């Protein structure tokens, strides 16, 4: 592990199948009260969350995240995974890394978009020993009906050539009302718009599976979504919360787009997250 100026620490760890995955820690100046373990969305990377890390640091939390396989500075075919379960295995390996660096501290798993799908499914399927889960704009369902040809191709190619790559077709203007956020995303060399048949089919099906099993969700969950999100479905988040019951704190943010943490109202998002986490630890 090598230190990169001030509090930024970067290193690589091995996935179950031998890929080098990039991790980035954002330690707090004082001993942290808990560790927020960040799982990013499709096509992006962990270093887009530096401002969230700063807000958490200022509140006494450390944050550690990693780049998914096929994303950012991690190895792997861009936008591909051999299986959905392998993505969950990567989270498991990541949490081992977190525990090695910060043993005996509470861990909160935080996922956005694709990462939101993953952390919800990780909690449901792996039954981890975590303090709680935060999910923002989770890909439980898409906010639009995926083009029939894309779904057909995805399902067909998943069976005969799972690494078949399509463009995601992401509308970058739907990420945030802040044009600077959109511009930075479009100019970021570590961002991509690739998604394989296996990844698409795995994410699509796992979102629906999570809805079917929401009643089994047993960890405290802060679930937040922008009401103006045209990428992932806020209504699906509401449905999940209703089925999961009292373990879930649901907050739908009026008019906000997909990346609520990158909206002009981001300070309110951070405040809500920190207050919920402080209450969780009390």
CB 78 within 8 A of CB 67: no
Confidence label for 67 from pLDDT (cuts 50, 70 and 90): very high
Q: For position 33, which CATH number holds?
A: 3.40.50.1820
Give me the residues paired with residue 12 across strands. 22
User: Is 94's pLDDT higher than 80?
Assistant: yes
Largest separation between any pair of C-alpha atoms in the chain:
52
Return the pLDDT at 146. Answer: 67
Residues 105-113, mean pLDDT to the nearest whole number: 98
Give me the residues paired with residue 37 across strands. 64, 109
* Residue in the block written with tokens 């079917």: 212
Span 196-243, pLDDT tens digits = 999 999 999 999 999 999 999 999 999 999 999 999 999 999 999 999
Domain that holds residue 100: 2-281
Residues 162-186, mean pLDDT to the nearest whole number: 93
If 0-12 CB within 10 Å is exposed, 13-18 middle and 19+ buried, where does residue 26 land?
A: buried
User: Is 150's pLDDT higher than 80?
Assistant: no
Looking at the structure of the chain, the number of domains it has is: 1
pTM, two decimal places: 0.94
CA 263, 267, 272, 276 torsion-angle sign: positive
Residues 11-40, mean pLDDT to the nearest whole number: 96
Return the pLDDT at 147. Answer: 65
* Residue in the block written with tokens 């511009």: 183
- Residue 3 token pair: 């230190």
User: Is 271's pLDDT higher than 70?
Assistant: yes
169: left (phi over 0), alpha (psi -120 to 50) or beta: left
Task: Give the per-residue SS3 of the chain.
Answer: CEECCCCCEEEEEECCCCCEEEEEEECCCCCCCEEEEEECCCCCCHHHHHHHHHHHHHCCEEEEEECCCCCCCCCCCCCCCCCHHHHHHHHHHHHHHHHHHCCCCCEEEEEECHHHHHHHHHHHHHCCCCCEEEEECCCCCECCCCCHHHHHHHHHHHHHCCCCEEECCCCHHHCCCCHHHHHHHHHCCCCCCEEEHHHHHHHHHHHHHHHHCHHHCCCCEEEEEECCCCCECHHHHHHHHHHHHHHEEEEEECCCCCCHHHCCCHHHHHHHHHHHHHHHHC
């Amino acid at each position: 592990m090598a230190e990169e100026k001030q509090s930024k620490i970067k290193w690589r760890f091995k996935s179950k199948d031998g890929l080098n995955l990039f991790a980035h820690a954002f330690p707090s100046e004082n001993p942290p009260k808990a560790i927020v373990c960040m799982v990013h969305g499709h096509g992006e990377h962990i270093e887009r969350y530096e401002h969230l890390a700063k807000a958490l640091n200022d509140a006494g939390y450390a944050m550690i995240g990693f780049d998914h396989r096929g994303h950012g500075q991690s190895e792997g075919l861009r936008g591909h995974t051999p299986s959905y379960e392998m993505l969950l295995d990567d989270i498991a390996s990541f949490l081992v890394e977190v525990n090695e660096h910060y043993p005996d501290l509470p861990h909160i798993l935080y996922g956005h978009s694709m990462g939101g799908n993953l952390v919800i499914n990780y909690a449901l399927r792996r039954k981890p020993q975590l303090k709680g889960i935060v999910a923002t704009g989770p890909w439980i369902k898409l906010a639009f009906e995926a083009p029939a040809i894309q779904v057909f191709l995805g399902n067909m190619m998943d069976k005969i050539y799972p690494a078949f790559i399509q463009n995601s077709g992401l509308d970058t203007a739907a990420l945030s009302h802040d044009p600077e956020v959109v511009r930075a995303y479009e100019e970021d060399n570590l961002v991509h718009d690739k998604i394989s048949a296996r990844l698409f089919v795995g994410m699509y099906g796992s979102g629906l599976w999570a809805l079917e099993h929401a009643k089994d969700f047993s960890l405290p969950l802060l679930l937040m979504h922008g009401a103006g999100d045209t990428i992932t479905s806020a209504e699906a988040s509401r449905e999940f919360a209703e089925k999961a019951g009292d373990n879930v704190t649901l907050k739908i943010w009026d008019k906000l787009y997909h990346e609520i943490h990158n909206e002009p109202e981001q300070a309110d998002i951070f405040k809500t997250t920190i207050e919920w986490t402080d209450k969780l630890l009390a």
